Amino acid sequence: MKVLITDGVDPQCAQILKQNGFEVTEIPKISKEELKEIIGNFDKLIVRSATKVTAEIIELGKKLKLIGRAGAGVDNIDIEAATRNGIIVMNTPGGNTISAAEHTCGMMLAAARQIPQATAELKNGKWDKKKFMGVELDGKTLSIIGLGKIGREVAFRMQAFGMKTIAYDPMIPDEYAAHLNIALLPLHENFKQADFITIHSSLNESTRNLIANDTFALMKQGVIIVNCARGGIINEADLAEAIASGKVGAAALDVFETEPVQQDNPLLKLERVVATPHIAASTNEAQVKVAVQIAEQIVEWKQKGKLEGAVNASAVELAQTPGVRSYLALAEKLGATLAQLTAIQANKIVVTTSGEFLQKFSEVITAAALKGFLDIRQTKDTNYINVFTMAKETGITLEQKFEKENPDYTNLIRIELENGATKRMIGGTVFGDKELRIVMIDRFIVEFKPEGTIIIYNNIDQPGVIAQVTQLLLLHNLNVASIALSRDEEKKLAITAIVVDGGVTTTLLDEISTVNGVSDSTLLSL
């Protein structure tokens, strides 16, 4: 297992990995071209923020199984490309929380009291007390945009300064925020009420340019803004105009849309801007924490299959839960069976789980069903990480459903395939701990093990059909392992599944199809 570490990750990371049997190569400063040349030799890549793990790099990393980020942010990694290629992306949430929170608080104080500007003037021989009139934090309202670990730590510290804390985070329950003495408000109310705004959200399409001219218009005159999260969340040109006009009293920025920041950036020319070069997590303690954390997470994955910190592999993590493995195997078998039962293109796949035990495993069961289906339908490697992306790329619309209970089975998985008016369905369950069973196909209740070579056919429900089919099997020297039969409620149509020992030729299938009343004969290999 070969690991490449870039960006000057603390040496303890490599030390822990080596102690646990990994072969480690460290290149603290690596160019894009050099990375492209050597990435194909490594199973795992560990980076900080400097290395850009683009789709091109990922495609060249034919052996890559994991990309580790020694830090919280993963915007320098193409998550979609990694997911498409079945590569786990793992970060270290919480490792630099305290450092980032403390830097945010320091930046807030620096902006409010103009500490860097006053220091610079004093060192230049000027003593101008009136110029650097500041504002107190006590009694002011602080808006926290993004109430994750760092946001919560900032709230705790600034409450000690006497600040009233409000926040916006659609993922946090009101009760939890209230327990932290934080009022959750709509985004526009945060902008209207805040004297100070600090940003702690990730950068994505919904947060890009979140703070711009239209949101500045909602804010109080003289509001102070701090961003130690990600560049691009604030429109920098609009912020420069808002500071110049006095709408924004001051800004403290540790991050920029383009890094290293360009020297012609208008924000750097404004006196009321405090700026640092993306150093919120740059403390000795934080760098040791994230280095040790990412190494330990990788070791845990190797030794126990545990995926702590995996940002794109929730299905893989759920799959490690005891008791669910048999249902995952069943879901794959169901998907593979459905793919072989019909040749039609799947426009829509619906995966329904029934039973309280399966409720929390809906996502991973769906991943398993899709994997089974796509493994039959295409040659490209699929796994629980990339299967949702691959299904989308092949034009499949996915729907997941849950039923609290089924009248006939304690736990049941059903998969439906749709293409216009054409629909096929298959369902299965697990008896005991490991006995997988298919129990329904379309409108038929039919039970058999989904393993080995299976001939399935539909026929008119009339005497003599099964006798003629088994006679053909005898002529082809095939032994029958088991037979499952079922007919519809009207007793007009039937379905038969015959598990046989040995290979089935296309000639035999054709001969079965010529038996009077038989239709839709299919061979399953499971």
**Domain residue spans in the chain?**
2-95+286-312, 97-275, 313-442, 452-526
pLDDT at 379: 55
pTM for this prediction: 0.65
Q: From residue 483, how far is each of 415, 446, 491, 524 by CA, in Å? A: 23, 10, 19, 14
Residue type at 447 in one-letter notation: E
Alpha-carbon distance of 159 to 168, in angstroms, equals: 17
Residue 310 is given by DSSP the state: B
Alpha-carbon distance of 335 to 368, in angstroms, equals: 8
CATH class of segment(s) 313-442: alpha beta
Catalytic residue numbers? 230, 259, 278
Question: Which residues, given as ranges, of the chain have pLDDT below 70?
Answer: 379-380
pLDDT at 254: 97
pLDDT at 380: 62
CATH class of segment(s) 2-95+286-312: alpha beta
| Pairing between β-strand 223-227 and β-strand 248-253 as defined by DSSP bridges | parallel
Residues 6+ apart with CB under 8 A from 416: 349, 350, 351, 352, 423, 424, 425
Positive or negative, the CA dihedral 276, 279, 283, 284 is: negative
Architecture label for domain 452-526: 2-Layer Sandwich (3.30)
What would you report as the CA-atom Rg of the chain, rounded to the nearest whole angstrom? 30
pLDDT at 333: 96
pLDDT at 70: 94
pLDDT at 315: 74
Alpha-carbon distance of 55 to 166, in angstroms, equals: 39
pLDDT at 343: 82
Which residues is 47 bridged to in the sheet? 69
pLDDT at 104: 98
Q: Hey, is 8 helix, strand or coil?
A: coil
Phi then psi for residue 34, to 5 deg, are -65, -40
Q: Are 455 and 497 in contact (CB under 8 A)?
A: yes
CATH class of segment(s) 97-275: alpha beta
* Burial 166-188, CB ≥16 within 10 A → b, else e: bbbbeebeeeebeebebbbbeee
Q: Are 89 and 112 in contact (CB under 8 A)?
A: no
Fold match, 2-95+286-312 / 97-275? yes
Alpha-carbon distance of 355 to 324, in angstroms, equals: 13
